[in-house]
Amino acid sequence: MINSIFVMSPTGEVLIEKHYRGYVPRTCCDTFWSEVQKSSTPQEVCPVLVTPKYYLIHVQRYGMFFIANVQREVQPLLVTEFLHRVVDVFRDYFNEVSEESIKENFITVYQLMDEMMDNGIPMTTEPNVLKTMIVPPTILGRVASSMGVGDKSNVASDLPEGMLSSIWWRKKGVKYTNNEVYLDIVEEIDCSIDTNGLMVTCDVSGEVLVNCKLSGMPDLTLSFTNPAIIDEANFHPCVRLSRYERDRVMSFVPPDGKFKLASYSVCTTGQAVILPLYVKPQIHFSGNSGRVNVMVGPKSNLAGRTIEDVVITIPFTKSIASTNLSVNHGTAHFDDASKSLRWDIGKVPKDKSPCLNGTVQLAPGAETPESGPTMMVDFKIVMFSASGLKIDALTLSGEKYKPYKGVRFVTKAGKFQVRS
C-alpha cells in the first residue's frame, strides 16, 4: 500500500524517511518541492501528485509536510487519514510538532512509525495503546541518555494486555482513586459574509473530545436532545455503529485518557446557524487614499457569554504605501512586508464596540482598488454551541461507582470571512 513516508521541513529539508516496502530514494521529494515553489502558497499544492512511477500524497500541518509515496492504486483518503494520525501521535508524544521536536526525538519518531505501520498497512494508531508499547520521552530520560546512564529501552518487550481482544483500545486493570470523565464539544464555523452583512455560505463542523479517567471496563452511552442536527459523523473504533444508526446514541467502551470520540458536520439546510458576533467593515478607496472603518461587537443571542481571542486580519493590496490607523480597544499592527493588518482585540467588552478607524495611502501611480479586501476573523466562545446541539445524558453501566461528569461546549472560528 504505502511504500515510504517522508517528513519535510518548511525549507524543503527531508527530516525523516521511513521505508516499508523497499527503498525509495528521497529524490522523489524533489518533484513535490518543485510544486511547492511554483505555488504562491503551500496550501495550493494538489494533495495528490501523479508521476510516471508513483503517487505522492501529502498533508501540511504546523508548517511541515508529511508525504507518502505510493506506487499502486490506493484510496487517497485512507493515506491522508493515516498521515493525520501520524501528526496527532507526534503532537501527543512531544506536545508540539516542529522541526526541533522531531530532531530531538529521532529515535522515538522511528519507533512510533515502526509500530503504526507494518509492510505498508496501517496497524496501531491509537495513542493510548502506543504509550503502553513505547514510553513517551521525558526530560529526565533525555538527561540520562546524554550522560550515558540511560541504558533501559523505552520499548515494551510484551504486547499490552487486551491488544488481541475485541476491545484492543483499552487496557485491563485500569484503576483511579477519583473516577471522572470530561467531554468537550468543539465546533468550528466556516462562513462567508458579503458587503451587506448577509450570509453567503456557512458550514459548521464539530468534534467530541473525551478525557476518560474511569476504573475497570466502563460502558458509556452518550445521547443528544436533538441528534437530527448531526448530518455526517466519523467515529472512533470504540463506538458501536449499529447502535448509533438505530437509536442515534453513541454507545462505547472508552479508551483510557484523552481521545477523539467523533467528528461531525451539521446540516445547515433549512436551519439558521447562530453567528455569535458581527463585523461591519467600511473600506473605500478614492484617488490615492482610502478610508477604513471596522466595527466589531457581540450579538444578542450569547446570553451573557464572552467572546475571547478575537483577531481581525485585513490583507490590503500590495500597492499600499503607508497607514494611519487607530483602535479604541486592543492593539493593531501593520506588516509592511505582507501589507496585512492584524488587529488583536482579545475579549470583546460589553460596554463598548471595538472600532478600527483611519486612512491608508496608495503608492504613487498605483491603480485604485475596485473593491475592499476580504477580512479573516478568529474568535472563541466557551459554553456556546453554534449548531444548537445539546447533550441529553451521559450514562455509565458495567461498573458500580458513580463518576464525576463534566461537559463543555466551545465554538471557534474556522475560515470566517467578511467581505468589505
pLDDT digits (tens, 9 = 90+) for 147-176: 665 555 667 666 666 566 678 888 888 899
Given a contact cutoff of 8 angstroms between Cβ atoms, the answer to whether 195 and 375 are in contact is: no
- Evaluate if residue 211 carries a pLDDT over 70: yes
Q: How far is CA 24 from CA 204, 208, 307, in A?
A: 41, 38, 50
The CB-side HSE value for 318 (13 A sphere, CA atoms) comes to 2
Q: What is the pTM of this model?
A: 0.81
- Evaluate if residue 319 carries a pLDDT over 70: yes
- Mean pLDDT over residues 296-323, rounded? 87
Q: H helices of 95-208, where?
A: 99-104, 106-116, 127-133, 139-146
Alpha-carbon dihedral sign for residues 222, 226, 227, 229: negative
Given a contact cutoff of 8 angstroms between Cβ atoms, the answer to whether 406 and 419 are in contact is: no
Helix, strand, or coil here: 135? coil
- Alpha carbons 334 and 224: distance in angstroms, whole number: 45
pLDDT digits (tens, 9 = 90+) for 71-83: 888 899 999 999 9
Extract the C-alpha cell encoding 172. 485491563
Largest CA distance in the chain: 78
Given a contact cutoff of 8 angstroms between Cβ atoms, the answer to whether 16 and 7 are in contact is: yes
Cβ neighbour number for residue 69 with a 10 Å cutoff:
27
Extract the C-alpha cell encoding 280. 461591519
Given a contact cutoff of 8 angstroms between Cβ atoms, the answer to whether 296 and 345 are in contact is: yes
Which residue type is seen at 183?
Answer: L
Looking at residue 413, its pLDDT comes to: 92
pLDDT digits (tens, 9 = 90+) for 33-56: 999 998 888 888 899 999 888 899
- The one-character DSSP state at 347 is S
- Alpha carbons 145 and 163: distance in angstroms, whole number: 30
